[in-house]
Amino acid sequence: MKIIHLSYSDLIGGADRAAYRIHLSLLKEGIYSRMWVNQTLAGDDTVEGPNNKLEILSNKLRLFISHHVLNRFFNTKKNTLNSYSILKSKLVKKINNSDADIVHLHWIQNEMLSIKDISQIKKPIIWTFHDMWPFCGAEHYTDNHRWREGYHISNKPKNESKLDLNLWTWKRKKKYWNSPIQIITPSKWLANCARISSLMYNWPVSRIAYPINTDFWRPVDRKISRDKLNLSHKPFLILFGGDINDPRKGFDLLIKVLKNKKLYLNAEKIELVIFGCNDQKLFSDLGFTIHYTSHIKDSLTLKALY
């Protein structure tokens, strides 16, 4: 059996890392597995990225159009990621001409594949959902229920102005995705959402947890880790990683905890370690020593942090 995984990248975000781990797990079991990505960082010869400068430039242009051009016609007070998936890709022809037995879709936004492209894949498809985008409009996460009710002019949220690109995106999905695809989700919550969604209520859904290599992801010596990260051995450390503007990441909870009087009294004994955010102004008035490690791309550093 030959499997091709399609993912925007192999290591950039959490969804990409999860896809790459699934790919590695299949290889470990002796299954022929390959990844096709728009951006590759792993340096793995089983992961195929752009072959030349023209392809790299094309992918960057598609990304720019997705993030900066279309969003000018859409406005929401919430800081959420939106993907419209409108640009045709050459990948479909390549997929259909390949010898793959199964095409495994992962996080394929940033205009990697268009909504229509997905409907033109002639190979058997499995799709692992890493967020809510497949059954929503353009949103990757939302706390309204349009995805469950169906998108209509009448249920457009009041906080969204300009064009209803969520409605437009959802209608294109409904138009092109006529044949159910096998859905895989890592959580019960996401599986239940897919099952009751207006778009995919009759699609097959299975829940399979993400594989974790416990030979690698296991506790290591704390002293060695702190030395590697140039952190002091004396203070108690609080670690936070994630997008501070994403309400699901819990930044508001971190600030609430740090403002606890008991922590303030022990501020000299406590230090913060922050990764994924370099906005030092947000933490400057908290009274704690703070270490910034920026965005972590290599697993060894991430392992040491944890």
Query: pLDDT 10s digit of each residue in the chain, 306 long?
Result: 999 999 999 988 889 999 999 999 999 999 999 999 999 988 899 999 988 888 888 888 888 877 776 666 655 555 678 899 999 999 999 999 999 999 999 999 999 999 999 999 999 999 999 999 999 999 999 989 999 999 999 999 988 877 888 999 999 999 999 999 999 999 999 999 999 999 999 999 999 999 988 999 999 999 999 999 999 888 889 898 877 777 788 888 888 888 776 766 666 788 889 887 766 666 667 777 888 887 777 888 889 999
Q: What is the 3-state secondary structure (H, E, C) of 164-185?
A: CHHHHHHHHHHHHCCCCCEEEE
CA 235/CA 269 separation, integer angstroms: 5
Q: 163: closest CA among 142, 143, 145, 137?
A: 137
Phi-psi group of 87: left, alpha or beta (phi > 0 → left; psi -120 to 50 → alpha; rest → beta): beta
CA 173/CA 119 separation, integer angstroms: 9
**What per-residue confidence (pLDDT) applies to 265?**
62
**What per-residue confidence (pLDDT) applies to 290?**
85
Structure tokens at 250: 């819990």
pLDDT tens-digit readout, 130-139: 999 999 999 9
**What per-residue confidence (pLDDT) applies to 120?**
97
Q: 126: closest CA among 1, 20, 5?
A: 5
**What per-residue confidence (pLDDT) applies to 293?**
83
Listed in sequence order, the DSSP H helices in the chain are: 14-28, 53-64, 91-96, 115-119, 146-149, 165-176, 188-196, 222-228, 251-258, 261-265, 299-305
CA distances from 129 to 20, 53, 257 (A): 14, 30, 32
**What per-residue confidence (pLDDT) applies to 76?**
57
Q: 83: closest CA among 102, 103, 69?
A: 69
Q: 203: closest CA among 219, 185, 222?
A: 185
Q: 61: closest CA among 111, 16, 11?
A: 111
Q: Which helix (H) or strand (E) holds 239?
A: strand 236-241
DSSP label of 68: I
Phi-psi group of 127: left, alpha or beta (phi > 0 → left; psi -120 to 50 → alpha; rest → beta): beta
DSSP label of 40: -
CA 11/CA 1 separation, integer angstroms: 25
**What per-residue confidence (pLDDT) applies to 260?**
76
**What per-residue confidence (pLDDT) applies to 64?**
82
CA 135/CA 128 separation, integer angstroms: 12
